[in-house]
Amino acid sequence: MIHKRSYMNGIPRPQFSRTSFEILDGKWEFYLDYDNLGESRQFPQGFTSDLTINVPFVYTTRLSGVNLDKRCDYVWYARKLTIKDLTQDERVILHFEGSDYHTKVWINGDLVGEDCGGYHRISFDITDFVKPGDNLLVVKVTDDFSTEKPRGKQRWKPYNYECFYVETTGIYKTVWLEYVNQYRLETVKMTPSRREENILIEGTTSTKEKVVLGITITFEDKLVKQEVLEVSDGKFIVTLPLTEQEPLYLWDVGDGKLYDVEFTLIRDGKEVDKVYSYFGVRDIEIHDAKIYLNGKELYQKLILDQGYWPDSHLTPPSTEALLLDITKVMEMGFNGARKHQKVEDERYIYFADCLGFLVWLEMPSMYTYSEQAKQAFTREWELIIKQYYNHPSIITYTPFNESWGISEIKTNKDQQQFVNDIYYLTKAYDHTRLVITNDGWEHTISDILTIHHYEQDGDKLHSYFKTIDKATAPIYEAHPKGAFADGYQYNNQPIIISEFGGTAFVNSTVNGAWGYGVGVRDEQEFINRFRKLIEAIRTLDYVCGYCYTQLSDVQQEVNGLFYENREEKIASEIINKILNE
């Protein structure tokens, strides 16, 4: 894989990178504060503990070095932070790529700030709290079993059950420092257009003073466009042509063509900031109940991927593990993934961008409907779509799944309105992607009609959905749910079977492990069942894609194409042949 210029030494944010950064992963002091006494005992000033932890792995995982499956709602971290001598205009930003759920940060005993939410990047300007040399960084993370916040597949009981797994409490993604200028680029939103053969770039700077912004766009080191513009009031917007000197290069499935972008900020004739990024030109459209990528009909062959690993749970064991998941799935013949109930490490999305691998971005579900839950959900979802906007591989948003957290959406007008509000909120910021309002069933307004059905007999599955009328029925055959919430109906949307399969290997179903249907006894029985299920969907002419459950086993679930350690259950070439017959 050819890396883009913006990808430097595994930088956690390859879509917006600078050269001056430091990864803070590794050994930290750690304390399990069962009684929540840390603040009263002055832990922000420093604490002693018999435990250390390997950040970014949570304490319930083997790779953390703690490996304790015992609930603790209050966890503390501490480490030495060595800061270089700063210039007058230099600032230091501390980033947490993911910390679940309420994070408070102290430097040298002073509270820097706090934030809530486990799935978006949390950043703090710590410049005014640090001194050159050694400093003490202390972090407290609070979590609980509340179902009024987005939790995804994290259990809310002290044991695993059904399809819910060990909770993730604390820092579970990379922590890093970034040295920046106080006069800098803050945000960039890039919207390329295939039809217009241009790119709209909107952004903000940290200052309202007049500065000069240089933009250089290249493709494989060939100059595409250079532009210089004055920026005042801290905001800019510019549309740049992409075909003055080069033809238009399109991002496509299996062919992740990407443009490099270099942003240079100049103040008083001096360069004060340089940011590296990239973008891909592609469009997603719907015509006559079909989905089109760059004007060509797109048939999606997706894998449902929960993003769990045996020794590290939601945290990838390495950056290479993220890339390996994509390449293994592509070798099997799938062209994308539905990242299920998890907002994946941004480096995964970067690899998908480079390889031309389709991604559905899904919001982890809440499980109780209340005003508090709605506010927490809405705030974090908006932060997530803004954070991931520039990635071309993301073509679909899935804010809700199977009526989780909106259990009365079938008849409840308030819940229907909330889901519709999220749909319009998403579209207001991003009109370039498709939005599925309630993946699986009981849709309100939705760009795609998606269906979940775990029938294990291919002939029966085909018969259940052999006509569009059956696919859009108020109640599905052999299923307790139907296509739409009350008051909504089919409006010629594309139809995708977005969960099916989930077949268990019976020789794995011990100690409470499970999958869907009667487990298969051997590889050949699985191959026969898998082929029939794929054929059942492929022969439905009106269906324009599917998502098979799932990539790998996850804790008690044994329905993956891979074991948890990513060892193949069935050879990739066999799966590939079935998908492409």
Cβ atoms 490, 483 nearer than 8 A: yes
Structure-token pair, residue 151? 């939790």
Q: Whole-angstrom Cα distance, residue 317 to residue 338?
A: 20
The confidence score (pLDDT) of residue 238 equals: 98
Report the chain's C-alpha Rg in angstroms.
24
411, 486 contact by CB (below 8 A): yes
Q: Where along the chain do its domains lie?
A: 25-173, 185-279, 291-579
C-alpha dihedral (99, 100, 101, 103), degrees to nearest 10: -30
pLDDT attached to residue 169? 97
The count of other CB atoms within 10 Å of the CB of residue 73 is 17
Alpha carbons 581 and 577: distance in angstroms, whole number? 6
Angle in degrees, CA 364, 367, 371, rounded to 5: 100
Q: What is the pLDDT of residue 507?
A: 61
Say how many C-beta atoms besides its own lie within 10 A of residue 200's C-beta: 14
Residue in the block written with tokens 């903000």 = 204
Q: Report the pLDDT value the prediction gives residue 411, as an integer from 0 to 100.
A: 98
Task: For the domain made up of 25-173, give the CATH fold.
Answer: Jelly Rolls (2.60.120)
Q: For the chain, how long is the longest CA-to-CA vector?
A: 73
Token representation of residue 386:
């803004």
Beta-bridge mates of residue 106 = 111, 138
DSSP-derived 3-state class of residue 229: strand
SS3 of 164-186: the string is EECCCCEECCCEEEEEEECCCEE
Structural contact between residues 121 and 386, judged by C-beta atoms closer than 8 angstroms: no
Question: Going by C-beta distance under 8 Å and a sequence separation of 6 or more, which residues neighbour residue 383?
Answer: 117, 120
Q: What is the C-alpha to C-alpha distance for residues 361 and 359, in angstroms, rounded to an integer?
A: 6
In this prediction the pTM is 0.96
**Both tokens of residue 203?**
């952004």
Beta bridge partners of 273: 265
Closest by alpha carbon to 453, among 520, 543, 365?
A: 543
Length of the chain: 581
For domain 291-579, which CATH number applies: 3.20.20.80, 3.40.50.10190, 3.40.35.10, 2.40.50.140? 3.20.20.80
pLDDT confidence of residue 566? 95
Q: CA 553 → CA 164, 462, 467, 567, distances in Å? A: 13, 26, 33, 10
CA distance 31 to 59: 10
**What pLDDT score was predicted for residue 506?**
62
159: tokens are 């044991």
pLDDT at 508: 55
Instruction: Please answer whether residues 543 and 506 qualify as being in contact, where contact means their C-beta atoms are separated by less than 8 angstroms.
Output: no
What pLDDT was estimated at residue 513?
Answer: 66
Q: Which of 374, 306, 389, 312 is nearest to 341 (CA)?
A: 306
Q: To which residue do tokens 């969960």 refer?
A: 499
Q: What is the mean pLDDT of each run of 10 residues along the chain (581 residues)?
A: 86 96 98 98 96 98 96 97 95 98 98 97 98 98 97 91 90 98 98 97 96 97 96 96 96 98 97 98 97 98 97 97 97 98 97 98 98 98 98 98 98 98 98 97 98 96 97 95 97 97 72 70 92 97 97 92 94 97 86
Residue 548: closest CA among 442, 452, 467, 443 = 452
| Residue 361 CA: distances (Å) to CA of 74, 120, 206, 342, 345 | 29, 13, 29, 8, 12
Is the distance from CB of 189 to CB of 115 less than 8 angstroms?
Answer: no
Could you tell me the CA-to-CA distances from 460 to 121, 403, 465, 536, 549 in Å, in that order?
Answer: 45, 25, 9, 8, 18
136 is written with which tokens? 């003490």
Phi, psi of 354 (to 5 degrees): -70, -35
DSSP annotation of 309: B
Q: Can you read off the two tokens belonging to residue 210?
A: 């007049």
State residue 160's pLDDT score. Answer: 83
**Measured between alpha carbons, how far is residue 134 from residues 25, 81, 327 in Å?**
17, 6, 42
pLDDT in the model for residue 504: 84
User: DSSP letters along 191-207, please?
Assistant: EEETTTTEEEEEEEES-
> Tokens standing for 189?
């939103």
Token pair listed for 285 = 């459209």
Cα separation values, 434 from 17, 241, 278, 424, 494, Å: 28, 25, 22, 12, 11
Q: Decide which of 2.60.40.10, 2.60.40.420, 2.60.15.10, 2.60.120.10 is the CATH code for 185-279.
A: 2.60.40.10
